[in-house]
Amino acid sequence: MVLRVATWNVNSVTARVDRLLGWLGTAKPDVLCLQELKSTDEAFPTGQVAELGYQAATWGTGRWNGVAILSRHDITDVRRGWDGLPEFEGVTEPRAITATCGGVRVTSVYVPNGREVGHAHYEYKLAWLDSLTAAVAAPARAGLPYAVLGDFNIAPTDTDVWDISLFTESTHVTPAERAKLADLRARGLTEVLPRALKYDKPYTYWDYRQLAFPKNNGMRIDLVFGNEAFAGAVSDAYVDREERKGKGGSDHAPVVVDLDL
């Protein structure tokens, strides 16, 4: 059985519902993890995705975050966040949702941006990543194929940004942030994308400003980490740059991983 698993920071599901529905119809993922919904659970287009054969598990409050999992298989054992999830300014933000779909367990994450080094949001980001590492330990060791995927707001290496010299004072590339990705790997999770992609500079995010997308001035910050059962089943992967094109698209492109189960 081939199972197609994807992740996409949709940057407002309300603003991009037509793009979402169109992409579901063409790419046909079996499981899609969404981030940055900017939508409440009640406002999520659950009925519209159901018409295309997808169940939906969501966690959104309408603020600048929100996550979801869509699946053409039954969605079971849904968990919104986890014990010990850090707060920011007294609020537990909807940034992670986990579920089992089609024999695979997935966690859709929208890691805090961090804003700037030294900012309280940067410290929140590091604490949030620590809590993520603790939360994935058990599912990473379980028998099911498992992946944590989404917008990590971290470029794993210098080659994952279009010009590293412009990021020397910025978040997303600091040693402290990248060390958190190393902590995930120490839990038995492998970043599966570089093993499968067939082209250079597979960026996943391009700013809307300064013609960043036409110039390919991007970053690879949408990542897929899988346990041995998941990573070993990867047969193909790609970044869907076509979906980033045109008017009204998200500033992120979907990342697609095919599993041969």
- pLDDT per residue over 19-76, tens digit each? 999 999 999 999 999 999 999 999 999 999 999 999 999 999 998 899 999 999 999 9
What domain range includes position 121?
2-260
Which residues are 221's β-sheet partners? none
Domain count, the chain: 1
Residue 188: which pLDDT band, with cuts at 50, 70 and 90?
very high
Instruction: Provide the pairing of β-strand 218-219 with 222-226.
Output: unpaired
Tokens describing residue 84: 């010990």
Report pLDDT for 15.
96
**Mean pLDDT computed over every residue of the chain:** 95
Kindly state the helix (H) or strand (E) to which residue 140 belongs, with its residue range: helix 120-141
Q: Is 146 exposed, middle or buried (0-12, 13-18, 19+ CB in 10 A)?
A: buried
pLDDT beyond 80 at 260:
yes
Measured between alpha carbons, how far is 199 from 141 in angstroms, rounded to an integer? 31
Mean pLDDT of 77-89: 96
The whole-model pTM stands at: 0.97
Task: Indicate the DSSP class of residue 161.
Answer: B
pLDDT beyond 90 at 12:
yes
pLDDT beyond 60 at 225:
yes
Task: Indicate the DSSP class of residue 224.
Answer: E
Residue 14: which pLDDT band, with cuts at 50, 70 and 90?
very high
Report pLDDT for 201.
76
Burial 61-85 (b: 16+ CB within 10 A, else e): beeebbbbbbbbbebeeebbbeeeb
Residue 198: which pLDDT band, with cuts at 50, 70 and 90?
low
Report pLDDT for 168.
84
Residue 140: which pLDDT band, with cuts at 50, 70 and 90?
very high
Report pLDDT for 193.
79
Tokens describing residue 39: 């939508």
- pLDDT per residue over 90-128, tens digit each? 999 999 999 999 999 999 999 999 999 999 999 999 999
Report pLDDT for 197.
62
Report pLDDT for 169.
84
Mean pLDDT of 140-149: 96
Mean pLDDT of 212-222: 96
Report pLDDT for 128.
98
Mean pLDDT of 164-171: 92
Kindly state the helix (H) or strand (E) to which residue 235 belongs, with its residue range: strand 234-239
Mean pLDDT of 4-17: 98
Residue 59: give its domain's CATH number.
3.60.10.10
Report pLDDT for 196.
57
